[in-house]
Structure 1
Amino acid sequence: MKAKPDNSIAAELILLGILFLIGYYFSDSLQKHPLGYFWLALSITTLCYGFWKIERYEIKNAQLIKKNFFGLLTKTADLKKLKQKQIKKHKTGTSPFIFISLLKNTDKYRNFQKVKLTFYNGKKMTIYQNTIDTKDFYSLMKQLKTRKL
């Protein structure tokens, strides 16, 4: 089973990072000021975090595979060794930084679930509901629920 990614949060962060870079590039005073280095670091960090949030999940042969950064970073965990599953609900309310929740008519980006998986071999993995298609998230949770803990 492959879960379809929802790249809305990632796209928002990447666009925000690009806007920060454009602001830095066109501001001569910011480039000359020591605060400009902080601004540049903030924009690059925002860009990298946006690329990090492009997440793909797949269950193949009782293995849960999580891919970040367009698949460059892969984390694999054996679902037979699943020790604990912890589900937390996050409510960000009306955060001004979540612009995507204003554009899309869904509550998924403000109120989402975070699932922490712990395995017997010490590995940990976190699944965020707002980075996966809603139907695929619940399908993934259903498959994780059928695993014995």
Structure 2
Amino acid sequence: VRCYHGSKLPPEYVKAVEKLLGSLENRSYTTHNLPTNEILKQGSIQKLYCSFSSRKIPTGQYWRWNQAKSRQTVHLPLGVVTFYKLTARKSKKALFEAPKCKLWKFEISPHNGKPFYVLWCEKSSTDVSSLACDSEAKSEITLQDLSFLKPFMEPELANQLWPSFHF
């Protein structure tokens, strides 16, 4: 596999292109409009039809995606593919290290069709999917969410807060 400018691709980039081609051939991916939290699971592959920035890829509260190295462009029988590697990077105020994650983002411009995108999670921490927080997950905590505290409270107060909750 050669880059657009004729030089050889580094081995990990060749591996990423081979994974892309294999997943497209075998249809071993899920299809979405935008990336979902499932992309944080190692081995997950998503095919997407809407253009999106790296900021739209799910992250954790204290880390974000960072483009590692430059974009590569290759000409393949299916069309032109531009792709790059993303790694997890801790945010400035984070007290913890970012998880060990590696994601590949591909933009495929077929010779005879609309462009589409593929994300592949090559590497992920085992618990990274539980760390994901998208805008929906950042919603406020409700009183019902705290009902697990009822057994540890004065019964009178607990019954005022959760009258229909029986333990």
TM-score by length of 1: 0.31
Structure number, greater radius of gyration: 2
TM-score by length of 2: 0.28
Structure with the bigger RCO (C-alpha within 8 Å, sep 6+) is 1
